[in-house]
A = this chain, B = another copy of it.
């Protein structure tokens, strides 16, 4: 399979941006495979994702970023460049619940998700056997109110050592400090077990049950300083009825959590998500 380059671009809108991008690619013998462009009319902002075949591209892979920067500057672009053949390095954070953990590990193992899980960090030891089965190093870092700062220091050290690109909170029941979050902007994906903005914070299924909703949901989002307020990446829902107990809410919700988290991770790894005004543009 050929290799491709993927550009995500945001900039003030004006005439001729696509001409310039498409020219840069065609003039160097690249063939565009996907181009998806969108204008936010209110903000007059140009948003696009371009993917092109770089087998035979005249600019060597390692110099594409530099060469494109000249165009980027001219149009005041924010852009990110990635290559389809690269393998992002991933860290998973888990606590005691294993459904998202199993699910995401299996997706990486089967090749459905393109990336390499380098390590698993948990505040409990319960899920170590699963980590072992999948052959991924497991680090047990307990957290208490007292040791939170030093525990995070250990975590950050591990993440840096492994050169982690993406952190997945697979039902990790701890809140990360602002300092931690700032080190990985738009690179920490959390799954929250409610249909946000309904029921942020603790025990969303309990509150949904008490409220008598007819549908429950799950939301994957990038982690920001404010709890459960980061840019939403994906949501999905499932019906419940009066016949469902609180335990049924929790059980049914798990299936949605797994899927909603996996989609977000997939889109992130495929460089399909552009964060913008605390919202996401997902080029699917």
Contacts and interface: CB of A to CB of B under 8 A. Distances in A.
A212 B35 CA distance: 22
Given A211-B232, A213-B232, A34 B34 contact: no
Contacts of A195: 195, 198, 215
A212 B279 CA distance: 5
B31 A23 contact: no
B15 A29 contact: yes
A31 B284 CA distance: 23
A20 to B, nearest CB: 8
B31 A212 contact: no
B235 A38 contact: no
Contacts of A215: 195, 217, 235-237
A5 B41 CA distance: 17
Contact of A231 (B110, B212, B231): B212
A34 B283 CA distance: 13
Given A106-B102, A195-B198, A196-B213, A26 B18 contact: yes
A231 B214 CA distance: 11
A37 interface: yes
Interface string A210-245: 011111010000000000000111111100011101
Contact of A112 (B103, B199, B251): B251
Contacts of A198: 195-198
Given A99-B106, A212-B279, A279-B212, A18 B32 contact: yes
B33 A39 contact: yes
Interface in A100-121: 102-103, 106, 110, 112
Given A197-B198, A234-B214, A243 B22 contact: no
Given A19-B26, A99-B110, A212 B34 contact: no
A153 interface: no
A273 to B, nearest CB: 10
A145 to B, nearest CB: 30
Interface of A: 13-19, 22-23, 25-27, 29-39, 41, 47-48, 98-99, 102-103, 106, 110, 112, 133, 195-199, 211-215, 217, 231-237, 241-243, 245, 251, 254-255, 259, 262, 277-282, 284
Given A32-B37, A197-B213, A215-B236, 18 more contacts: A15-B26, A18-B26, A19-B27, A22-B23, A34-B37, A34-B39, A35-B48, A38-B242, A47-B242, A99-B110, A112-B251, A211-B232, A213-B232, A215-B235, A215-B237, A241-B282, A255-B259, A255-B262
